[in-house]
């Protein structure tokens, strides 16, 4: 006896490979969990009394058939109904678990992107709080002024000291005798540079050079600050884009998880498609009786067909072509 129930899904044209795989997972999971449905029965015994199969065609829905062959009709229908209810519950639970895993991964990625974005923003904010108070253009303008002032001071430096005049005379005489790379000319130049520095001791050139060095250092620091700020702003933009992309993926996955969820529904309640043992015995007895009656009728007809005795005048005429002149009536056993 078979007690079956059909559970419908999408058609083959609309069904994806993931949905077919999902149905197979439901079938295997349901078979493995049969001990939970009927704890008193062994899995091997229950597995012999039911069958789960998936049937699909191109233009028709996909059916999950639940068949039970247990001896008792009530037990068979109960098992089929239990299997159907459990299959729908397992389908929903399996899909929900898969959806939760996918959404958890996306939420983890989104959380990481948000943490990265917040960290980069904090770093940029801390960096901007240390911004130089003077613009680079102003620093460069001041440095240019100092250079011009230093050049002017160097040009206006008096060179009328006797020692310096003597050194310049010695340099001119040495150039007439030696090349510029001669050691004597190098020595005279070194003495001239030393004398010029000694003559500039009273000038403000050293303070101006220190200011110029400070301005150049500030210009370099400002350039480094701008480059660092630009780099951090790019990182903020990249992290912000990644965060928006992760949010879009999460929103899309949440919408698709609801629209693409496959719902199993019962299309036919469990019913007896076979016959009970009593009905089988009654039908077998009726079939044997009918066969016996037909056999008896056949035997009688065959006996009559093959009978060669002359019992009526027509039999004599049919067999020998003779017409009887008279017949003796049957007087019955009382006159015998």
Give yes or no for residue 1 having a pLDDT over 50.
no
**51 pLDDT exceeds 70?**
yes
Quote the CA–CA distance of 260 and 326 in Å, as a whole number: 100
Element of type H or E holding 329? none
pTM over 0.85: no
Question: Whole-angstrom Cα distance, residue 216 to residue 336?
Answer: 163
Contacts from 55-60 at CB under 8 Å and sequence distance 24+? Answer: 56/11, 56/12, 56/15, 56/20, 57/11, 57/12, 58/11, 58/12, 58/13, 59/11, 59/12, 59/13, 60/11, 60/12
d(CA 22, CA 42): 26
Question: By percentage, how much of the chain surpasses pLDDT 70?
Answer: 76
pLDDT band at 44 (very low <50, low <70, confident <90, very high): very low
For position 114, what pLDDT does the model report?
92
Closest CA to 64 of 30, 98, 36: 30
> At 42, is the pLDDT very low, low, confident or very high (cuts 50, 70, 90)?
very low
Is 224's pLDDT higher than 50?
yes
pLDDT over threshold 90, residue 171:
no
Looking at per-residue confidence, does 123 or 202 come out higher? 123
On the CB side of 145, CA atoms within 13 Å amount to 8
Q: Return the closest-CA partner of residue 48 out of 61, 38, 58, 59.
A: 38
pLDDT-derived band of residue 196, with 50, 70 and 90 as boundaries? low
């Amino acid at each position: 006896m078979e007690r079956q129930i059909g559970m419908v899904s999408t058609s083959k044209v609309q069904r994806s490979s993931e949905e077919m795989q999902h149905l197979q997972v439901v079938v295997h999971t349901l078979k493995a969990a049969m001990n939970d449905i009927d704890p008193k029965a062994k899995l091997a015994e229950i597995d012999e009394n039911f069958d789960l199969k998936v049937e699909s065609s191109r233009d028709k829905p996909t059916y999950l058939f639940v068949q039970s062959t247990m001896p008792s009709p009530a037990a068979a229908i109960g098992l089929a109904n239990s299997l159907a209810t459990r299959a729908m519950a397992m389908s929903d639970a399996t899909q929900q678990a898969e959806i939760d895993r996918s959404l958890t991964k996306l939420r983890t990625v989104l959380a990481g992107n948000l943490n990265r974005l917040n960290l980069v923003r904090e770093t940029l904010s801390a960096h901007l709080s240390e911004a130089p108070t003077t613009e680079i253009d102003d620093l460069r303008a001041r440095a240019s002024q100092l250079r011009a002032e230093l050049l002017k001071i160097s040009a206006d430096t008096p060179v009328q000291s006797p020692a310096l005049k003597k050194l310049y005379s010695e340099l001119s005489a040495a150039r007439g005798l030696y090349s510029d790379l001669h050691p004597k000319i190098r020595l005279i130049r070194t003495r001239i540079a030393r004398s010029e520095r000694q003559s500039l001791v009273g000038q403000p050139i050293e303070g101006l050079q220190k200011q110029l060095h400070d301005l150049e250092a500030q210009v370099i620091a400002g350039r480094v600050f701008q480059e660092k700020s630009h780099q951090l702003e790019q990182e903020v933009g990249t992290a912000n884009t990644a965060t928006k992309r992760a949010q879009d993926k999460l929103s899309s996955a949440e919408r698709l998880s609801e629209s693409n969820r496959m719902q199993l529904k019962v299309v036919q309640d469990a019913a007896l498609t076979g016959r009970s043992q009593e009905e089988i015995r009654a039908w077998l007895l009726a079939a044997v009786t009918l066969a016996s009656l037909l056999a008896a009728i056949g035997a009688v007809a065959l006996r009559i067909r093959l009978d060669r005795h002359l019992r009526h005048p027509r039999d004599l005429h049919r067999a020998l072509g003779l017409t009887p002149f008279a017949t003796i009536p049957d007087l019955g056993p009382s006159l015998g």
